[in-house]
Structure 1
Amino acid sequence: MPRAPIPTWCFALVVVRRGDHFLIVQESKYGQPWYLPAGRVEQGESFADAAVRETLEEAGIPVRVTGLIRVEHSPSPAGARMRVIYLAEPTDDTPPKTEPDDESLGAAWVTRDELAKYALRGTEVTELFDFVANGGAVYSPDIIQAEGVPYRIGH
């Protein structure tokens, strides 16, 4: 008997770093706290492409993914959730957006010490910024590949 597919919701989260500053966005939902650029991966989109798109939509900042911090898989009886957390850097000096829209209320560059001034969605933002600032392990974003891509030694 064939098994039913497991519904899986996929999300990309992005820690964007510029020197000693990190990018945060003010969400228009969940009580309007500040969080990382993040969102659901759209049909046909890679996790990395979703990370770049979500950062541009929510913060107005074009970025380049530079590393992969962690892949999380949380199965439950109703399905599963996957989150891929990337490290990225801005590709230019575009300032964070300040005009609210459907994606976010705005964005800001902050230092780790300035985070205390913001109502954060949870402790995850602080934990991730500390992890990156203190030299936590960051992997090549190429570790995630599409099926069928040839295996290469030394790549």
Structure 2
Amino acid sequence: MPREPIPTWCFALVVVRKGDRFLLVQESKYGQPWYLPAGRVEAGESFVAAAVRETREEAGIPIRVTGLIRIEYSPSPAGARMRVIFLAEPTDDTPPKTEPDDESLGAAWVALDELPNYPLRGGEVVEVVTYIARGGAVYALELLQSEGTPFRAG
């Protein structure tokens, strides 16, 4: 007997670092807290492409994804959620957006010691930014591959 498919929602989250500052976006929903650039991966889109797109849409910043912080998979009876958390850097000196739109109310570069000044959506922002600021492990992007990609040694 065939099994029912498991609905899975995929998200990309991005820790964008510029020296000792990190990019936050002010969300236009959830009570307008500050969070990392993040969003759902669209059909046919890679996690890396979603990370680049979401950061550009929400913060106005072009980025280069430089590493993989963590992959999270959370199954539940109703389906599953998969989140890939990336490290990235800006590709130029474009300032964060300040004009509200459908994606966000704005964005800002924030130092670790300034985080208490921002109403954040949950403690994970402080946790992951502190992790990166203190030299936490970041993994090669090659760990995340499309199905069918050949295995190559060396």
Identity of aligned residues (%): 78
Q: Which residue of 2 is the match for residue 125 of structure 1?
A: 125
- Show the counterpart of 2:56: 56
- Give the structure 2 partner of residue 37 of structure 1: 37
For structure 2, the residue ranges without an aligned partner over 5 or more in a row are none
Q: Report the counterpart of residue 83 of structure 2 in structure 1.
A: 83
> When the two structures are superposed, what TM-score results if normalisation uses the length of structure 1?
0.98
Moved over 4 A (4+): none
Shift of the alpha carbon at 1:31? 0.1
1:149 aligns with 2:118: no
Give the 3-state SS of the residue equivalent to 1:148 in structure 2. coil
1:10 is aligned to 10
- Give the superposition deviation at 1:51: 0.3
Equivalent pairs counted in the alignment come to: 154
How far has the Cα of 1:65 moved from its partner?
0.4
Q: For 1:63-82, what per-residue CA distance to the aligned partner results, in whole angstroms no more than 9, with x for missing partners?
A: 00000000000000000000
Letter in 2 for 1:49: A
What's the counterpart of residue 23 of structure 1?
A: 23
SS of the equivalent of 1:14 reads strand
Whether 1:95 and 2:95 are equivalent positions in the alignment is yes
- Listed as ranges, the gaps of 5+ residues in structure 1 are none
User: How far, CA to CA, are the matches of 1:10 and 1:37 in structure 2?
Assistant: 14
Residues 72-126 of structure 1 deviation map (CA, whole Å, 9 limit, x = unaligned): 0000000000000000000000000000000000000010011111000011110
Partners of 1:129 and 1:79 lie apart in 2 by: 29
Deviation at 1:32, TM superposition (A): 0.1
Name the structure 1 match of 2:66.
66
Aligned equivalents of 1:148, 1:52: Cα separation in 2: 23
**Which whole-Å CA distance do the structure 2 matches of 1:140 and 1:48 have between them?**
12
Cα distance in 1, alignment partners of residues 79 and 125 from structure 2: 25
How much is the aligned-residue C-alpha RMSD, in angstroms?
Answer: 0.5
**Aligned match of 1:115:** 115
